[in-house]
Amino acid sequence: MLKQFLMKKLIARQLASLPADQRKMIEDLVEKNPDLFMQLAQEVQAEMAAGKSQQDAMMAVAMKNKETLGKLMGK
């Protein structure tokens, strides 16, 4: 329970600039699939350790997992 609370707070802070409906959609996806998003976060960290910026690392991981993320978002 504490882990979920902390995860929600972290997500809310990271997504503060997004419109409320998009932020809610992402929060719901993370809540339903926490293990997947933990794996994605680890992949982003590995990309950053290899020298990529946070934005480049996130884009690389998103592209690598495009099919899985698309299914989650109903596309």
Please state the domain count of the chain: 1
**Domain with 65 in it:** 2-72
pLDDT profile of the chain (75 residues), mean per 10: 75 84 87 88 94 93 93 80
Structure-block tokens of residue 45:
């960290």
pLDDT computed for residue 42 by the predictor: 92
Look at the block and give the residue holding tokens 């992402």. Answer: 26
Whether residue 29 contacts residue 15, with contact meaning beta carbons closer than 8 Å, is answered with no
Output the DSSP codes for 32-59: H-HHHHHHHHHHHHHHHHTT--HHHHHH
pTM above 0.85, yes or no: no
